[in-house]
Amino acid sequence: IAAGALQNAHLFESLELANVNLERLALVDDLTGAFNRRFFFRRLEEEFHRARRYKFPVACIFLDIDRFKPVNDRYGHLVGDRILTEVTEVLRGCIRRTDILARYGGEEFSILLPMTSQDGAAVEGERIRQAVRAHAFGADVGPVHITISLGVSGYPAARVNSVEDLIARADDALYQAKAEGRDRLVVAAD
């Protein structure tokens, strides 16, 4: 009986560990270790509803690595993946513990900034842009110059009545930053 109980305890422990790993996989991007898009949306919904209820600000930043395809083409996807991981580390070093960094897809990231106005997010976004620009990426292949474009939106703001509005405005601002030449930050206009 004791051997069976011990075996069951080990099995239970293994199942618990597997569940923890599955939960982590459901929330975190495998490559970068940043949160994934699904988790970002869930937290954005929560923070947006909290902001509306208690009249707090909330902001989000969408950012995209500029001209990343040529980096992958020149150095290969393994180096490209390492650079994505390095970018993630630079971003983590710039944000507060309360901010949520997520890999939105490909070379695009999003940052949720609770209790932060649109103007405050723009200041943080500019600091992020400069930190990425100053960092020497891909040290094993020689310094690879990386820049990012950012779009910022916040609540409360005119025409922001939902999470979808907040996302659309950040995405539009990101698109505008890229259209205006990249390596810049654009704040959603009211």
pLDDT for 26-75, tens place per residue? 799 999 999 999 999 999 999 999 999 999 999 999 999 999 999 999 99
Averaged pLDDT score across all residues of the chain: 92
| Strand order, beta sheet including 185-187 | 35-36, 100-105, 108-114, 58-65, 148-155, 185-187
Q: Could you confirm whether 107 is annotated as catalytic?
A: yes
Using CB atoms within 10 Å of the CB of residue 135, give its burial: 0 to 12 exposed, 13 to 18 middle, 19+ buried: middle
Dihedral (C-alpha) 62, 46, 163, 86: value to the nearest 10 degrees?
10
Q: Which amino acid is at 129?
A: R
Enter the pTM of the model: 0.88
Residues 31-187, CATH architecture: 2-Layer Sandwich (3.30)
Q: What are phi and psi of 161, to 5 degrees?
A: -120, 0
Rounded Cα–Cα distance for residues 124 and 67 (Å): 22
Give the model confidence (pLDDT) of 152-162 as tens digits: 999 999 889 99
Give the model confidence (pLDDT) of 98-146 as tens digits: 999 999 999 999 999 999 999 999 999 999 999 999 999 988 888 999 9
Catalytic residue chosen out of the listed positions 47, 86, 107, 124: 107
